[in-house]
Amino acid sequence: MAQSAVDTRKKPLLNYTQKKKLINYVRIALVVIITLLYVSPLYISFNYSFKTPQELGTSSAMALPKSLYLGNYVDVLTKNRDFVTGFTNSLITTVCIVGILMVITPMASYVLVRSTSKWSTFAYYIFMTGILIPFQCIMYPAYVNLKAVGLIDTLPGYILVRTGFLIGTSIMILTAFVKTVPVELEEAANIDGASIFQAFWMIVFPLMKPINVTVLVINTLNAWNDYTVAVSLLQSSSKRTLPLAQLLYTSESGIEINLAFAFFGLCMLPVLILYLFTQRYIVSGIMSGSVKG
C-alpha cells in the first residue's frame, strides 16, 4: 500500500532549476516592458524632431523619418528668439539656484546632524514639513509678497522662491549621508588643533563629494525643468525660461509638433551632458572606501 501511495503522488510540473529560469525570464520581460514604456516618449519626440513637415501627416508616430532632417533644429536656433532668451534665463537661474544650495545645504545638514540641541531637531522637521507643502498652497502669498518688495517678474525673485522649495529635499538627502560619517574623524582633527569650520571643510566636505554631486544633478533637473513656479512669477517675455518659451509653438490653430520636439531636444542637451560627466560620482559605497583611507 505504501508503494502504491508513493507512485500515485503527483510530480511537480517544474523542478527548482526550471522555476528559477522561468522567474528570470519573467523578470527580464518586465524590465524590457518597463524600459520600452519609459523610452517610447523620448523616441517619439526625437523621431518627430527629425521629420519634415510633409511627413507629419503621412507617417505614424513610431515610423522612422525618411531622412535625417535637421531643418527643425536650425529653425529653432535661428528663427525663435525666445529660445536664446529662455536659454540665457534658464542658465542664469539654474546656476544661481544650484550654487546657493550647494553652499548652504551641506553646512546646514552638518550642523543639524552634529548638534545635540532640540532646536536643531525642530529645524530639521520644519525643513521636512516644507517638502510636503506643494507650491500651489503658497502660490498666492508668494506672489503678493514678491510684488510688495518689487521682485515679481524678476529673476532674483524667482531664484529666491525656487531655492526655498529645493532646500528641504537637499537637506533630507545630505543629512542622511552626514550621519554615516564617523565622528572620530572630526575628533582627531580637533585634537590636531582644527576648528569645527576647518574640520567640516577639510574632513567632512571632501567625503560628501558623491552625495553633493547627486544633489547637484537633482537640483539642476528641478531648476532647469521648472514650469509651475516660473509661470506664476515670470510674466514678461524677456524673463521667460525655457519651459515657458516652448509654449510659443502652441496656439489656437494647433501645435507645430516637429519644431516643439526639436525645441525639447535642445533643452534636454545641457542636462544630459551634465549627467554624462557626473554619473561616475553618483554611486554608493564610496564612503566606506574613503573612511578606510
- pLDDT tens-place string over residues 198-236: 888 888 888 888 888 889 988 999 999 998 899 889 888
Mean pLDDT of the chain: 83
pLDDT in the model for residue 254: 60
Residue 100 has pLDDT above 90, yes or no: yes
pLDDT in the model for residue 253: 53
Rounded Cα distance between 259 and 246, Å, is 9
- pLDDT tens-place string over residues 178-197: 888 888 888 888 888 888 88
Mean pLDDT in residue range 10-17: 69
- pLDDT tens-place string over residues 16-65: 787 888 889 999 999 999 998 988 888 888 888 888 877 777 767 677 78
Rounded Cα distance between 293 and 233, Å, is 48
- Nearest 5°: the CA angle 66, 70, 72 is 105
Cα–Cα separations (whole angstroms), residue 115 to 104, 105, 111: 16, 15, 6
Mean pLDDT in residue range 110-114: 90
pLDDT above 90 covers a percentage of the chain that reads 22
pLDDT in the model for residue 246: 82
Domain borders along the chain are 2-69, 72-292
pLDDT in the model for residue 121: 86
Q: Supply the Cα-derived Rg of the chain in whole angstroms.
A: 27
**Whole-prediction pTM:** 0.81
Pick the CATH number of 72-292 from 1.10.3720.10, 1.20.58.480, 1.10.300.10, 1.20.1630.10: 1.10.3720.10
pLDDT in the model for residue 92: 95
Residue 171 has pLDDT above 90, yes or no: yes
**pLDDT band at residue 157, thresholds of 50, 70 and 90?**
very high
pLDDT in the model for residue 293: 39
**pLDDT band at residue 290, thresholds of 50, 70 and 90?**
very low
Concatenating the DSSP letter of every residue in 151-213 gives -TTSHHHHHHHHHHHHHHHHHHHHHHHHTTS-HHHHHHHHHTT--HHHHIIIIIHHHTHHHHH
DSSP character for 250? E
Cα-Cα-Cα-Cα dihedral sign, residues 57, 59, 63, 66: negative
Residue 76 has pLDDT above 90, yes or no: no
pLDDT in the model for residue 31: 93
